[in-house]
């Protein structure tokens, strides 16, 4: 909590002081003190933040001493500074005290240290590449989306961003229909009594946006599963109807802490390509196999299959159901992973409260993993919400439900796509596929005709007839990562178009040949 604001310009001075101390050499010595001794020390020094840390700390209270400076720290630290050969302060950011937006906003300074200058240089190079690919920078630059302070964690999608969004949605709808999913729609909010019945309230009530109405309190839905189970249980089903696959890409809301929001990768309002498959135990394996086939198709189509890696999340402490039931459902998912020959890590205790799950992760430009798709096997909620079918024995049975989202949230998937391609999307996905640039006013009409012909062939083409220089308009097309640009001047005609590829390649082609070429991209 600085008495005067600190800026990026101050970092070199701080870094210089760090390097001076490293050159002199520093040691760090740890001592443990009683909670009361630590508390009295910080009360005397008028350090309320550290008093709070002492009051809430678990385990022993430790201090570290460096020269004549002693302060509270959990550690562990290096014994001395000799291994540190290179240091770089990388930036600063606002951070609410203890991650709570109701608390004071402090300033956090970020830095890193390495065993060699070469390692630091390599890291900074990776960092620069990550910044170049950062979707939070590219999104506004490419006119895809932006955020507003009055709706934190809720993106505003621009027309060009909606091209990518609709590509995901169109593919989702088309493939769902081919694969036997039925599109449904459920309410955006429910009486909180439903969340209590389903079991979500105990774990998720802090993430619910609550809407009081008279004597009732509603919660904006953070997930679709209870609604889909009410759909299923709206009538008694026959085993002949199973598997029954409900799909819904609905807006969901989760009150994520401010400090965890991260562009499109962690938001408060999201849309999942959600589905719930109601099936018998004998149908579980075949359904999961089909889901892996589906997700493989999607990830291949978007060119991100090599990014994905899997985890098997097992029973948490606050689980519903018996250990025997969890042994069974975990075994079914483990068998599915091994049958698909998918490498995976086991994450003990990370399952949903109602069942184990297979989570698919992808890394962002910084190498940080983000959960994308998920396949979850639920043997608990269906019984709690009255789901039943009549079996061939004429008796009622509770179905299994497989929860699945394959993109995950559309927002997060698009964020990963932006970083993976550094905004240079493949031709079929690019918001603007072809840009036509007339050299002067006299060229605008034939250039518009070229644009219209390309658009009528089914491609996303626009016309840049601004009064800027031709070189600036070409440069802007490159900055916007438009795959194809056509410059139309005195020497151009439908038989000889000057075509520029994204990245600098140039060629001459007739309009007919160009359209034939576009059809192959």
Contact call for residues 483 and 501 (beta carbons, < 8 A): yes
Residue 341 has pLDDT above 90, yes or no: no
Helix or strand holding residue 462 (H, E): strand 461-463
Helix axes 410-421, 159-178, angle to 10 degrees: 110
Average pLDDT over residues 115-134: 93
Q: What is the pLDDT of residue 94?
A: 87
Phi, psi of 404 (to 5 degrees): -150, 140
Helix or strand holding residue 217 (H, E): strand 216-220
**Computed from CA positions of residues 216, 219, 225, 231, in that sequence, does the dihedral angle turn out positive or negative?**
positive
- Give the torsion through C-alpha atoms of 155, 160, 161, 166, to 10 deg: 130
Q: Catalytic annotation on 200?
A: no
98 pLDDT band, cuts 50/70/90, is confident
Average pLDDT over residues 325-346: 92
Catalytic-labelled residue, pool 136, 160, 253, 274: 274
367 pLDDT band, cuts 50/70/90, is confident
Catalytic-labelled residue, pool 237, 245, 266, 272: 272
Q: What is the pLDDT of residue 83?
A: 94
Cα-based distances in Å from 233 to 289, 385, 395: 26, 8, 16
> Tokens in use for 486?
């056509």
Phi, psi of 354 (to 5 degrees): -105, -10
Catalytic-labelled residue, pool 133, 200, 225, 420: 225
Pairing of strands 389-390, 461-463: unpaired
Burial of 152 (0-12, 13-18, 19+ CB in 10 A): middle
Q: Catalytic annotation on 225?
A: yes
Give the span between the Cα atoms of 484 and 495, in whole angstroms: 17
Give the span between the Cα atoms of 325 and 314, in whole angstroms: 12
Q: What is the pLDDT of residue 446?
A: 96
Q: Which residues contact 341 (CB under 8 A, 6 or more apart)?
A: none
Of the chain, the percentage scoring pLDDT greater than 90 comes to 85
Give the span between the Cα atoms of 276 and 401, in whole angstroms: 6
Cα-based distances in Å from 44 to 36, 55, 349: 12, 15, 43
Catalytic-labelled residue, pool 136, 237, 254, 420: 254
99 pLDDT band, cuts 50/70/90, is confident
Cα-based distances in Å from 368 to 107, 175, 365, 416, 513: 23, 30, 7, 11, 43
Q: Catalytic annotation on 274?
A: yes
> Tokens in use for 248?
């819904």
Q: Which residues contact 342 (CB under 8 A, 6 or more apart)?
A: 292, 310
Pairing of strands 400-409, 269-279: antiparallel
35 pLDDT band, cuts 50/70/90, is very high
Average pLDDT over residues 56-68: 90
For 417-447, b/e burial (b = at least 16 CB within 10 A) is bbbbbebbbeeebbbbbbbbbbbeeebeeeb
Residue 204 has pLDDT above 90, yes or no: no
Residue 331 has pLDDT above 90, yes or no: yes
67 pLDDT band, cuts 50/70/90, is confident
Average pLDDT over residues 10-16: 95
Give the span between the Cα atoms of 268 and 151, in whole angstroms: 9
Q: Catalytic annotation on 272?
A: yes
Q: Which residue has the higher pLDDT, 102 or 228?
A: 228
Contact call for residues 331 and 315 (beta carbons, < 8 A): no
Residue 460 has pLDDT above 90, yes or no: yes
> Tokens in use for 40?
């009295």
Give the span between the Cα atoms of 432 and 138, in whole angstroms: 15
> Tokens in use for 474?
């070409």
Decide: helix, strand or coil at residue 49. helix
Phi-psi region of 319 (alpha: psi -120 to 50; beta: other; left: phi over 0): beta
Residue 116 has pLDDT above 90, yes or no: yes
Q: Which ranges of 357-458 does DSSP label H, i.e. alpha helix?
A: 381-384, 410-421, 444-456
Length of the chain in residues, anyone? 521
Average pLDDT over residues 487-513: 94
5 pLDDT band, cuts 50/70/90, is confident
Average pLDDT, the chain: 94
Give the span between the Cα atoms of 324 and 251, in whole angstroms: 35
Q: Catalytic annotation on 262?
A: no
Catalytic-labelled residue, pool 133, 197, 200, 403: 403
435 pLDDT band, cuts 50/70/90, is very high
387 pLDDT band, cuts 50/70/90, is very high
- Write the DSSP symbol of residue 92: E
Burial of 389 (0-12, 13-18, 19+ CB in 10 A): buried
* Cβ count near 18 (within 10 Å): 17
Nearest to 25 by CA among 80, 76, 75: 80
Residue 411 has pLDDT above 90, yes or no: yes
Question: CA 405, 409, 414 angle in degrees (round to 5)?
Answer: 125
Nearest to 191 by CA among 135, 165, 230: 230
Average pLDDT over residues 226-249: 96
pTM of the shown model:
0.86
């Amino acid at each position: 909590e600085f008495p005067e604001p600190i800026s990026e310009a101050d970092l070199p001075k701080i870094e210089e002081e760090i390097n001076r101390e490293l050159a002199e050499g520093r040691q760090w010595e740890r001592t443990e003190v009683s909670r009361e001794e630590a508390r009295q020390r910080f009360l005397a020094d008028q350090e309320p933040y550290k008093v709070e840390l002492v009051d809430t700390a678990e385990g022993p209270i430790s201090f570290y001493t460096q020269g004549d400076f002693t302060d509270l720290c959990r550690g562990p630290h290096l014994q001395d500074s000799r291994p540190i050969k290179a240091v770089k302060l990388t930036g600063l950011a606002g951070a609410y005290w203890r991650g709570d937006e109701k608390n004071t906003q402090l300033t956090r300074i970020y830095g890193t240290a390495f065993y060699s200058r070469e390692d630091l240089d390599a890291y900074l190079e990776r960092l620069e590449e990550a910044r170049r690919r950062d979707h939070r920078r590219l999104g506004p630059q490419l006119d895809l989306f932006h955020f507003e302070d009055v709706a934190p964690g809720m993106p505003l999608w621009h027309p060009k961003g909606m091209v990518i969004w609709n590509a995901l949605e169109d593919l989702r709808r088309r493939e769902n229909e081919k694969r036997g999913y039925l599109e449904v729609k459920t309410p955006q909010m429910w009486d909180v009594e439903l969340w209590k019945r389903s079991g979500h309230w105990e774990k998720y009530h802090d993430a619910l946006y609550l809407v009081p109405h008279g004597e009732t309190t509603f919660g904006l839905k953070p997930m679709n599963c209870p609604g889909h189970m009410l759909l299923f249980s709206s009538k008694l089903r026959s085993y002949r109807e199973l598997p029954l696959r409900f799909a819904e890409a609905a807006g969901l809301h989760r009150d994520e802490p401010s400090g965890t929001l991260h562009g499109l990768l962690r938001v408060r309002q999201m849309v999942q390509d959600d589905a719930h498959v109601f099936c018998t135990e004998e149908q579980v394996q075949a359904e999961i196999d089909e889901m892996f086939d589906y997700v493989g198709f999607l990830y291949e189509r978007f060119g991100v299959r090599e990014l994905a890696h899997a985890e098997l999340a097992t029973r948490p402490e606050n689980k519903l159901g018996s250990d025997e039931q969890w042994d069974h459902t975990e075994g079914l998912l483990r068998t599915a992973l091994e049958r698909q020959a998918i490498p995976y890590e086991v994450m003990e205790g990370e399952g949903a409260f109602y069942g184990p799950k297979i989570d698919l992760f992808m890394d962002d430009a910084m190498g940080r993993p983000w959960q994308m798709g998920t396949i979850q096997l639920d043997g608990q909620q269906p019984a709690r919400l009255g789901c039943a079918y009549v079996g061939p024995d004429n008796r009622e049975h509770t179905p299994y439900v497989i929860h699945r989202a394959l993109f995950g949230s559309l927002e997060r998937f698009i964020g990963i796509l932006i970083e993976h391609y550094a905004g240079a999307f493949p031709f079929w996905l690019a918001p603007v596929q072809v840009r036509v640039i007339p050299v002067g006013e006299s060229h605008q009409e034939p250039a518009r005709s070229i644009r219209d012909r390309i658009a009528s062939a089914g491609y996303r083409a626009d016309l840049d007839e601004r009064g800027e220089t031709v070189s600036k308009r070409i440069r802007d097309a490159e900055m916007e990562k438009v795959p194809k640009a056509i410059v139309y001047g005195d020497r151009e005609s439908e038989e000889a178009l000057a075509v520029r590829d994204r990245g600098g390649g140039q060629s001459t082609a007739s309009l007919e040949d160009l359209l034939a070429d576009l059809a192959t991209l």
